[in-house]
Structure 1
Amino acid sequence: MISHETVFITGGAGFIGATLAARLVEDNNIIVFDNFARNSLQTSGLMGHKNLTVINGDIRDTAAVMSAVLDAKPDRIVHCAAIAGIDTVVRSPTATLDVNIVGTANIFQAARKLGSLKRILSFSTSEIFGSHAFQTTELSSAVIGAVGEARWTYAVSKLAGEHMALAHFHEFKMPAVVVRPFNVYGPGQVGEGALSTFIKRAIRNDEIQIHGDGSQIRAWCYVDDMARALLLALEHPAAIGQTFNIGNARAVITIYGLANTVIRVLGSTSKIRFVRKDYADIELRVPNINKARDLLDFEARIDLDEGILRTAEYYRGVAI
Structure 2
Amino acid sequence: MKILVTGGAGFIGSAVCRHVIGETPHSLVNLDKLTYAANLSSLDAIAGDPRYRFARLDICDRDKVHALMVEEQVDAVMHLAAESHVDRSIDGPGAFIQTNVVGTYELLEAARRYWSELPADRKHAFRFHHVSTDEVYGALPLDGGIFTEETPYAPSSPYSASKAASDHLAMAWWHTYGLPVVLSNCSNNYGPYHFPEKLIPLMILNALEDRKLPVYGTGANVRDWLYVEDHARALFTVLTRGQPGSSYNIGGNAERSNLDVVHAICDLLDARYPRANGSSRRDLVTFVADRPGHDMRYAIDAEKVARELGWRPVETFESGLRKTVDWYLDNEAWWAPIRGGRYSGERLGLRA
| TM-score, with length taken from structure 2 | 0.83
Tell me if the contact between 2:268 and 2:322 (Cα under 8 Å) persists in the aligned partners.
Answer: yes
**Partner residue, 2:153:** 142
Residue 118 of structure 1: which of 118, 121, 126 is its match? Answer: 126
Letter aligned with residue 135 of structure 2: E
Please give the root-mean-square deviation of Cα atoms over the aligned residues, in Å: 1.7
* TM-aligned CA deviation for residue 88 of structure 1: 2.1
* TM-aligned CA deviation for residue 65 of structure 1: 1.9
Tell me if the contact between 1:185 and 1:195 (Cα under 8 Å) persists in the aligned partners.
Answer: yes
**1:95 partner SS:** helix
Residues 191 and 60 (structure 1), Cα distance of their counterparts in 2 relative to 1, 3 Å cut: farther
Distance in 1 of aligned mates of 2:73 and 2:158: 32
* TM-aligned CA deviation for residue 74 of structure 1: 0.6
Q: Alpha-carbon deviations, 1:43-83, whole Å to 9, x = none?
A: 33223332221111112222222222222221111000111
Matched, 1:316 2:324: no
Q: Alpha-carbon deviations, 1:18-56, whole Å to 9, x = none?
A: 111111125222111111112243133223332221111
Tell me if the contact between 2:212 and 2:286 (Cα under 8 Å) persists in the aligned partners.
Answer: yes
Matched, 1:211 2:216: yes
Instruction: Give unpaired runs (5+ residues) of structure 2.
Output: 275-279, 336-352
Distance in 2 of aligned mates of 1:199 and 1:178: 32
Distance in 1 of aligned mates of 2:51 and 2:324: 26
Which range moves more in the overlay, 238-247 or 43-52? Answer: 43-52
Tell me if the contact between 2:63 and 2:110 (Cα under 8 Å) persists in the aligned partners.
Answer: no
Which range moves more in the overlay, 136-145 or 188-197? Answer: 188-197
Tell me if the contact between 2:174 and 2:181 (Cα under 8 Å) persists in the aligned partners.
Answer: yes
Letter aligned with residue 188 of structure 1: Y
Residues 128 and 97 (structure 1), Cα distance of their counterparts in 2 relative to 1, 3 Å cut: same
**Partner residue, 1:241:** 245
**Partner residue, 1:230:** 235
Residue 11 of structure 2: which of 5, 15, 18 is its match? Answer: 15
Q: Alpha-carbon deviations, 1:222-260, whole Å to 9, x = none?
A: 011101111110111x432111111112x1111111111
* TM-aligned CA deviation for residue 170 of structure 1: 2.1
Tell me if the contact between 2:217 and 2:290 (Cα under 8 Å) persists in the aligned partners.
Answer: yes
Residues 24 and 144 (structure 1), Cα distance of their counterparts in 2 relative to 1, 3 Å cut: closer
Distance in 2 of aligned mates of 1:163 and 1:79: 14
Q: Alpha-carbon deviations, 1:71-125, whole Å to 9, x = none?
A: 2221111000111112221222011011111111111111112213521110121
Superposed, 1:265-304 pairs within 5 Å as: 265-267=268-270, 269-270=280-281, 271-304=284-317
Letter aligned with residue 42 of structure 1: S
Which range moves more in the overlay, 127-136 or 97-106? Answer: 127-136
* TM-aligned CA deviation for residue 182 of structure 1: 0.5
**1:285 partner SS:** coil
* TM-aligned CA deviation for residue 191 of structure 1: 4.7
**1:135 partner SS:** coil
Letter aligned with residue 140 of structure 2: H
Letter aligned with residue 257 of structure 1: D
Distance in 1 of aligned mates of 2:27 and 2:311: 25
Tell me if the contact between 1:239 and 1:296 (Cα under 8 Å) persists in the aligned partners.
Answer: no
Residue 137 of structure 2: which of 129, 137, 143 is its match? Answer: 129
Matched, 1:61 2:61: yes
| TM-score, with length taken from structure 1 | 0.91
Matched, 1:166 2:141: no
Residues 205 and 306 (structure 1), Cα distance of their counterparts in 2 relative to 1, 3 Å cut: farther
**Partner residue, 2:202:** 197
Distance in 1 of aligned mates of 2:20 and 2:127: 15
